């Protein structure tokens, strides 16, 4: 029996298989509100046969968006828009859908990638960014404003309020975005956190805000409701965030009730040197799993069915995250199930598409 297509439990959530659609920004919202694009995009992914779909980084306040076109969840309007999108998707799919709550910090206020992704000026739709310290991200002309302790407390409440809205919307789980150089990662890494107060300096201090935000979210969700964190295991820069610190942070999250860790890397510095290749981040997921015993999601150039099966089957990780690969092949789980002799659930309207050589594929 395929391990990739075996059920898995995260908190009170049961997944049909170990394939997770990782969050992918679409830069297509209007004033933080999802649009028809998101209905089409998420509806398509909801018929892929994956075990869990995590929607894109969703900002907890307007200044936390990466671009002006990012999705948000900070008021009744953004909540209502997500409700409309989810209603349409759920009317034709019972795939569990999770949300990634995020704040971009110093990496905010940029143009959509297809428009270059550069920092927007204040007169072209940009805004003042915030960060642990007034240190600009590589290539940005404006320094961010350093957050005060009052700002930090306010942001924890922003995360909590977005979590309340997420539960009300019926999301199956919440993932906090602590990776890829965004605000939580900025606090964790000594490359971006130069503070000299209780939120900077030592590892304990640099972890303080991300852990406080996690605790704020955990405090407002029901018992058994899965809350996890996506993190970058390393900055890939000497003197930056690294695996040893990641393990300490993961253990601190476990002590506070984390239900899973989604293990990525990089994104906080233009000086990063990443040795790209298949499975290049899987050893980080394995280390986190071994150190904490928490369910882990491995990501990064996982493109083949046998590759994903081996990651789960050998215990390197409990689940695999597929992102760009599933945009390229929206039926990736179907094809993986066919290769591995497993079954996958599809809409009734697609049952007749089952190839003759895979007579038991659509179970």
The whole-angstrom separation of Cα 23 and Cα 230 is 10
CA separation for the pair 277, 211 (Å, rounded): 32
**Between helices 208-218 and 149-169, what is the axis angle to 10°?**
30
Nearest one of 161, 202, 130, 189 to 58, comparing CA atoms: 161
Report d(CA 145, CA 128) in Å as an integer.
Answer: 7
252 burial via Cβ count (<10 Å: 0-12, 13-18, 19+): middle
- Find out whether 167 and 219 touch, Cβ atoms under 8 Å: no
Q: Look up 8 and say whether it is catalytic.
A: no
For 353, the token pair is: 């598409």
Helix, strand, coil shares of the chain, percent, nearest 5, are 35, 15, 50
Which one-letter DSSP state was computed for residue 269? -
Catalytic residue among 8, 27, 182, 225: 182
Q: What angle do CA 312, 316, 321 make, to 5 degrees?
A: 60
Residue positions annotated with a catalytic role: 182
């Amino acid at each position: 029996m395929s391990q990739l297509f075996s059920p898995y439990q995260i908190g009170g959530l049961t997944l049909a298989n170990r394939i997770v659609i990782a969050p992918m920004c679409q830069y297509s919202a209007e004033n933080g509100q999802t649009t028809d694009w998101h209905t089409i995009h998420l509806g398509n992914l909801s018929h892929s046969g994956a075990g869990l779909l995590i929607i894109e980084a969703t900002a907890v306040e307007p200044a936390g968006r990466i671009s002006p076109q990012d999705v948000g969840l900070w008021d009744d309007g953004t909540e209502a828009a997500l409700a409309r999108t989810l209603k349409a998707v759920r009317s034709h799919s019972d795939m569990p859908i999770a949300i990634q709550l995020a704040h971009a910090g110093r990496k905010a206020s940029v143009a959509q990638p297809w428009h270059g992704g550069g920092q927007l000026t204040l007169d072209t739709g940009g805004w003042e960014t915030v960060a642990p310290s007034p240190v600009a991200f590589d290539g940005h002309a404006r320094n961010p404003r350093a957050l005060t302790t009052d700002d930090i407390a306010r942001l924890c409440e922003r995360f909590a309020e977005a979590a309340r809205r997420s539960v009300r919307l019926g999301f199956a789980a919440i993932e906090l975005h602590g990776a890829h150089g965004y605000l939580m990662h900025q606090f964790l890494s000594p490359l971006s956190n130069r503070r000299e107060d209780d939120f900077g300096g030592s590892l304990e201090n640099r972890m303080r805000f991300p852990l406080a935000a996690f605790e704020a979210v955990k405090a407002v969700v029901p018992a058994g409701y899965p809350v996890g964190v996506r993190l970058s295991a390393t900055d890939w820069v000497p003197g930056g965030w690294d695996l040893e610190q990641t393990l300490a942070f993961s253990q601190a999250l476990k002590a506070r009730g984390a239900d899973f860790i989604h293990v990525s890397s990089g994104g906080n510095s233009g000086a990063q040197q990443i040795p790209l290749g298949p499975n290049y981040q899987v050893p980080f997921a394995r280390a986190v799993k071994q150190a904490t015993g928490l369910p882990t999601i491995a990501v990064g150039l996982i493109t083949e069915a046998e590759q994903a099966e081996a990651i789960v089957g050998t215990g390197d990780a409990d689940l695999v995250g597929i992102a760009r690969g599933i945009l390229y092949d929206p039926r990736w789980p179907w094809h993986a199930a066919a290769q591995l002799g497993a079954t996958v659930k599809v809409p009734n309207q697609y049952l007749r598409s089952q190839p003759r050589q895979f007579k038991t594929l659509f179970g």
